[in-house]
Structures are given as structure tokens and as C-alpha cells.
Chain A
Amino acid sequence: MNMLLKNREALLVVAILALLTLITLRFPGFIQPANLGRVYNDTSILIILALGQMAVILTRCIDLSMAANLALCGMVAGLINVALPGLPIPLVIAAVVALGAVLGSINGLLVWKLNIPPIVVTLGTLTIFRGSIFLLTGGQWINAHQMSDVFKGLPRADFLGIPALSWFSIAIMAIVFVVMTRTTVGRAFYAVGGNPHAAIYTGIDVGRTRFLAYCLSGALAGLAGYLWVSRYAVAYVDIALGFELDIIAACVIGGISIAGGIGSVPGAVLGALFLGVIKNALPVINISPFAQMAISGTVIIIAVAVNARAERRKGRVILKKAEAH
């Protein structure tokens, strides 16, 4: 199985390189290091969110509320900044990460304690979170001139030639990688999704593990909320509307199985980058906006098809072994 995953990631790298070659044929400037850096920076938020979504999907759940959580936390970050412009930004970030985790834990608790299907829970909280933004603000925007310069400046701040926004995603990548591969809770995510019954026998609390996965995705959505609002220097009810679909698409393209238990940090990151490259390339290669949507959709379906085939092959192998016994 490990081989399969490795192959899959290698396949994605090849696909991204092929994509870059194709784009370069139409727009040579795309391949320049400065531009690739810009593409990575632009994809950073998607990477952070995809890593959170991955934890949830691994446990056989799904989090449709991430984009709404992001929007709510981003709006709260903006409101805090408007009310207390002098408050140090790390405190603002800590506050929205905590808020995001709390919002995520609501999803987690409903899935854990009330046993409601995750898709229903998060569909509900999605609307609740969006609605809450409206209640908080009455529909008012927070605009560039209302935010402090430090608040807006952080994602753009240069450190070793790379914007802080990119550093955030690199740090989150490292942390999630360690959590997924070196901690009991990270392994529990895989165990719960791979085989919930077996997980119970090994002493893993399935509900609690799912709860923790939702807390993680919520906290990352909170962080992404601050990053989004400060980067685009605007906060309103509809920010990141429909972005949850991009996040799930990134996971699916990255080989994270919707059926749970299969997936890796490099996979999720590559999936997000694949989408990021497409999103950034479409504007410069001069394709009609209608074709753009069709292209994005086609890519996602191809990825799911490849994924489904990979999983089916695994099933056959198990059956053969069973027959041999």
C-alpha cells in the first residue's frame, strides 16, 4: 500500500510538471522562479485548509464548514483589529485559532455524541457560521483602511526572501506531518478511518478521535481566516464562499480516500498545489471563463476516477489472498 501511495505522489509530481510545461508553452513567464513562488504563496491558504480537511477525511468524516469557519474567524480577526488596533498580532492569531478550534469542536461533538452523519452536521454548521457573520456585522464590510498596517502587513512580511504567508503553510505542513506520522493521535486518525471496528479493539475511542480531527481542522480554518482577511485586506459575509469544495477537491486530487484511512501530508499538499497551479495559470493563458470551470471540474473527476481505480485494485489483492488460504 505504501508503494501505491508513493507512486501516487510521484504521479502527481509528474502531473504538475506536465501541467507546468503545457502552461509554459503558452505563457513562458509562468515558469520563472519568482512566479512559481507567487503561485506557492497564493496556494498557501489552500494547503493549510487541505491539511485540516485531510485529518477529518482520514477518520471517514467530512468537514463542509471549513470555508464558513474561515470566514467567521477572519471576520472576528478583523473586528478585533478594528476594536483594539494596538493588540499584538500573535494574540489576534491565537484568539482566532482558538475560536476556530471551538467551532470545529461543535462539529466534532455533534458527530461524536449525537452520532449525526458528518455531512449533515457540517452542512448545518456551514450555514450557521455564515449566518453568524451576518449577525455579528449586520452585513457591514471591514475595509482596508479600517485595518491596522501591522495586521495587513504580516502575511506580506519578507523573511529570508519568502513571504510570511508561505512560511505559515510550511510550518503547518511540518507540524501536521509530525502529528500524522509520529504521534498516537495521528496514527489513530488512520486507524479509525481504515477500520473502525479494529480501532475499537485496539482501545482507540473512535468518536473522540473524530472530535480531535474536527478540532484540528477548525483551528487551521481559524488561522486561515486571519491569513485570508489580512491578505486580501477585506472582510465580508461572503469571503471564501464555496471554497470548501476546493479544499475537498485538493484532498481528493491528493489521493486522500473519501472512504477514510488512506492519505498523506505530501499528497494533500501536492493536491492543493495542483489546483493552485491551475487557478493561477488559467488567467494568464487566455482561456474563456466558461472553459475554466469545465477544466477545473474535469481535472477533479479524473483525479477521483484514478483514486477509485487505485482502491479497487487493492480490494482484488485481498480477495486473492483470502482464496489462497
Chain B
Amino acid sequence: MKIWKALLVAAAVSTALVANVANAADKKIALVVKALGIGFFEAANKGAQEAAKEIGGVEVIYTGPTTTTAEGQIEVINSLIAQKVDAIAVSANDTDALVPALKKAMDRGIKVISWDSGVAPEGRQLHLNPSSSALIGNMCVKMAADNLPEGKGDVAILSATATSTNQNVWIEEMKTVLPNYPGVNIVTTVYGDDLADKSYRETQGLIQSHPDLKAIIAPTSVGIVAAAQAVADAGKIGQINVTGLGLPSEMAGHVKSGASKSFAIWNPIDLGYSATMLANDLINGAEAKPGAELSMGRMGKLKLGDNNEGAMADPFVYDASNVEEFAKIF
């Protein structure tokens, strides 16, 4: 009986000790995405898990609302504050709406960074841009220009919603680099609201109202797929090239059909990886200030500019030669 009791006590104590050790070692980093169920963010989560494994003793909590609303993200952030995570890395649905919730998190000592889609400077310690907006804008126009017959023609832009922070900045950048591409004549910008049916309809509208259209730039993953399908259905493959930002797995079929010659995206795996690495740097006491250099593991260093923002890397171009291979990854 005595032995039995002693054994039990020993077991209880050792379990408690092991549990304590695990709790103390595990740093919790929350990766908050725009909405669950989007391939891009699922891939970012892969990268975050990779970073967690590399750092060791880090648990990545992958979470987000079910639809892309700021309200949903605020709820998620509030529950993360209640769970006492160590850091929050968020891709925001709204630049300003998340600021109060994130300020509350920082007041509680939680490190806050934004990545992909940014939060206003007062709501985070640093922002990780996947690439610089200037590079993205330039790449979009370059991909359109490279495939224009005789190097010139009409180009239209199919965006997400008229209020999307990301898309609007990229479109601005596209317009600033236009003088470098004299052949590209941007005729209009239309908005597909990131809905397949509306984007499809807007593309049909573009084809009708601009008979000489040679390329469509869609810097949105829903829009580029819908535009490619609409171009294929209208029998315009070879006449209109659809390019922009998309995911290899979603675009593989349209590259094969010829509706899209090339498109670009940064590597979301790298992005999730870098965001997690940066969050870990801050937990370990690194300071985020303009001019500071933070480590992103295998991705090198992030140099912070004004507003504590930094760019990870150049966007990567996918075409018939490599899309199949990347389609298997994300």
C-alpha cells in the first residue's frame, strides 16, 4: 500500500514537472490570417511551422476569421490576448480597425508585428512586406509588357475591391513605372471584389468594351483565375494575356491552356517563415526601430525603414517552365 502511494505521488510530481517544463519553454506565436481556407495563408502556415521547428520550443497558433472581415480578426485577437500568447503576427483585413485591439495586446506585453497586409504604425512594432510594393507594381507591368505583341498595346487592370489596401498601393506603383514601358497603355481599372462571378463578368465587360485589349493585369488570386477562365471562354487565348499575382496551384491549368503566359507571387512559405522568425526576434528582446536589422533565419536579414517597415524579397515569376513543379507545393 505504502509503495503504491509513493509511486502515485512520484508519478504526479514528475508529470507536473514535465508539464511545467513544457509550459515554460513553449513560446506561443499566433499567426493571424485574413481568413481561414485561403491557399496562400495555408502555405504561410507551413513556413511558420518550419520556423517553429528550427527555433525549437515555439508553438505556432494558426488562426483567423472565416471571412475576410476586420470584426472577425478583432475577435480572434481578443481571444489570443486572453490566451496570453507571446507574439501576434497578423495579416490585416483593415489598416486602422485592428489598431485598438493590437494596442491592447502590446499593453499586455505581447509583441505585435504585421505581415503581408499591414496595420497602421501605432498598432504594431514592425511590418514585414512580402516584397516592396514598388517591385510588385514593376513586376506586374513588366510581365504584361514582355508578352505584348510588337511590344505595345492596351492593358487593363482587374483588382479586388475598390477599397483593398494592397491592391490600391500596387496599382499606384504600376502607374508610376509606366514611363519605363512606353508600349503599355493602361486603359482602365475594374473591380471584381474577389468574387469569382463578378470578376468573370468584369472581364467579359473588358473584352467587350476594349476590343484591342492585349493584356489583363489581375493582382489578386481570385481575380486572375476568373479572368483567365473568362478569356478562355471568350475564345481570346493568344490575343489577351492574363497576368498578375496568383498561386501556382490555382493557375497551373490556365498557364497550360495559354490564357496566362506568366504570373508572379512571393513565396508564402518564406513569408510565414520570416514572420515567425521576426516575432521570435522580438520575444528575445530585439528592438524594432528604423534602421535596425533583424534576422529572418534562412531568408537573411530584414532592414527596417521608416515606419518600421521592411521588404522580404523580390516577387517570383512563374511560367510554363516551372508552374507544375510549384503547383505541388502551394
Query: Which A residues fall within an 8 A CB radius of B?
Result: 27, 29-30, 35, 38, 42, 130-131, 134, 137-141, 143-146, 156, 228, 232-234, 236-243, 279-280, 282-284, 286, 288-290
Contact = CB atoms under 8 A, between A and B. Distances in A.
Which applies to chain A's interface (DSSP): helix, strand, loop or mixed? helix
Given A232-B196, A238-B67, A284-B208, A279 B201 contact: yes
Which applies to chain B's interface (DSSP): helix, strand, loop or mixed? helix
B68 to A, nearest CB: 9
Contacts of B226: 232, 234
Contacts, number: 97
B252 A232 contact: no
Nearest to A233: B229
Nearest to A45: B197
B300 interface: no
B144 to A, nearest CB: 20
A134 B254 contact: no
Interface residues of B, number: 40
B191 interface: yes
B66 A130 contact: yes
Interface stretch (B35-43, B112-120, B283-291): B35-43
Contacts of B200: 232
Contacts of B190: 283, 289
B204 A280 contact: yes
B204 A240 contact: no
**By CB atoms of chain B within 10 A, which of A130, A232, A239 has the most?**
A232
B258 interface: no
B201 A280 contact: yes
Contacts of A131: 66
Nearest to B205: A283
A42 B203 CA distance: 13
B67 A143 contact: no
Contacts of A29: 208-209
Nearest to B259: A144
Nearest to B38: A139
Contact of B39 (A141, A233, A240): A141
Nearest to B194: A238
A143 B250 contact: yes
Contact of B206 (A141, A239, A240, A283): A283
B201 A42 contact: yes
Q: Which 10 A-B pairs have the closest CB atoms?
A: A283-B205, A145-B253, A139-B37, A144-B253, A237-B37, A289-B162, A289-B191, A284-B205, A232-B196, A283-B202
A156 B42 CA distance: 32
A242 B71 CA distance: 17
Given A232-B196, A232-B226, A283-B205, A143 B252 contact: yes
A145 B39 contact: no
B236 to A, nearest CB: 14
B161 to A, nearest CB: 7
Contacts of A286: 188, 209
B309 to A, nearest CB: 28
28 contacts: A27-B209, A30-B208, A35-B208, A42-B204, A134-B66, A137-B37, A140-B39, A141-B39, A143-B251, A144-B229, A144-B257, A145-B252, A234-B226, A238-B67, A240-B197, A243-B197, A279-B201, A280-B204, A283-B190, A283-B201, A283-B205, A283-B206, A283-B209, A284-B209, A286-B188, A289-B190, A289-B191, A289-B193
B108 interface: no
Contact of A233 (B204, B205, B209, B253): B253
Contacts of B202: 283
Given A140-B39, A143-B253, A234-B226, A239 B196 contact: yes
B256 interface: yes
B26 interface: no
Contacts of B249: 141, 143
Contact of B204 (A232, A236, A283, A289): A283
B204 A38 contact: yes
B233 interface: yes
B131 to A, nearest CB: 23
A38 B202 CA distance: 13
B44 interface: no
Contacts of B256: 145
B225 interface: yes
A234 B250 contact: yes
Contact of A139 (B36, B161, B188, B205): B36
Contacts of A242: 195
A238 B225 contact: no
Given A130-B66, A280-B201, A280-B205, A144 B254 contact: yes
A234 B249 CA distance: 11
A85 B252 CA distance: 18
Interface in B98-153: none
